[in-house]
Amino acid sequence: MTRNPVGWFEIYVQDMERARTFYARVLGVELQSLPSPEIEMWAFPMDMASAGASGALTKMEGMASGGNSTLVYFSCEDCAVEAGRVAEAGGNVFREKMSIGEHGFIALALDTEGNMFGLHSMK
């Protein structure tokens, strides 16, 4: 394989405005609408020339949020900073910043829709 194995991710939500506000506040980014006839999607910033994958918040009939088995990790300079924004944005920190050895640090949190997500940094 000559590319990164993950090419896209979707985080399913029930209340799009609440979810957009949450991720914008925690990650300090602006999401952009991805027009689709049957699915409401708001994409995280992406640069196709950069490494890593982008994705979107997705609201689709029949796809519930929370309880799924996919865990998305957002890259950060220091994951403690973003983890520190989670509660004030309406989510809950599940696991504060912790070492994963030579691979850096992670924090785990729940968003406003019940989805768990990860934050990763090298410091």
CA–CA distance, 86 with 40 (Å, rounded to integer): 24
Which fold does the domain 8-121 belong to in CATH?
2,3-Dihydroxybiphenyl 1,2-Dioxygenase; domain 1 (3.10.180)
Q: Do residues 56 and 10 touch, judged by C-beta distance below 8 A? A: yes
* Residue ranges of domains in the chain: 8-121
CA distance 113 to 99: 27
What mean pLDDT do residues 3-25 have? 90
pLDDT at 90 exceeding the cut of 70: yes
In this prediction, residue 3 carries a pLDDT of: 67
Taking the CA atoms of residue 101, residue 109, residue 42 and residue 120 in that order, the dihedral angle to the nearest 10 degrees is -10
Strands across the sheet with 40-43, in order?
8-12, 54-59, 40-43, 32-34
Contact of 51 with 5, CB cutoff 8 Å: no
Q: Could you read off the pLDDT of 108-123 as tens digits, one per residue?
A: 999 999 999 999 999 9
Q: Does residue 1 have a pLDDT over 70?
A: no
Confidence band of 92 (pLDDT split at 50, 70, 90): very high
Instruction: State the burial class of residue 37 (Cβ atoms within 10 Å of its Cβ: 0-12, 13-18, 19+).
Output: exposed
pLDDT tens-digit map of 20-64: 999 999 999 999 999 888 899 999 998 888 888 889 999 988 888
How confident is the model over 64-80, as pLDDT tens digits? 888 776 889 999 999 99
